Amino acid sequence: MKRLILIRHGKSSREHNVTDKKRPLKERAYNDAALVLEVFKQFQEEKPFIWSSPATRAQSTAKIFKDELNIDDNNFEIIEPLYTFEEKELLNTIKTCPNEIDTLMVFGHNPAMTEVVNTLGDKEFENVPTTGLNVIDFEVHKWPELDKGKNILHLFPKNLR
CATH superfamily assigned to domain 2-10+21-160? Phosphoglycerate mutase-like (3.40.50.1240)
Give per-residue pLDDT as tens, 15-49: 878 999 999 999 999 999 999 999 999 998 889 99
Of residues 13 and 123, more confidence is placed in: 123
Q: Three-class SS of residue 131?
A: coil
* Domain chopping of the chain, boundaries: 2-10+21-160
Residue 44: predicted pLDDT = 83
DSSP code at position 25: B
Q: What tens digit of pLDDT does each residue of 72-117 get?
A: 999 999 999 999 999 999 999 999 999 999 999 999 999 999 999 9
Residue-level pLDDT at 77: 98
Whether the model clears a pTM of 0.95, i.e. scores above it, the answer is yes
Q: Which of 98, 73, 94, 74 is nearest to 84 (CA)?
A: 94
Whether the per-residue pLDDT at 153 is higher than 90: the answer is: yes
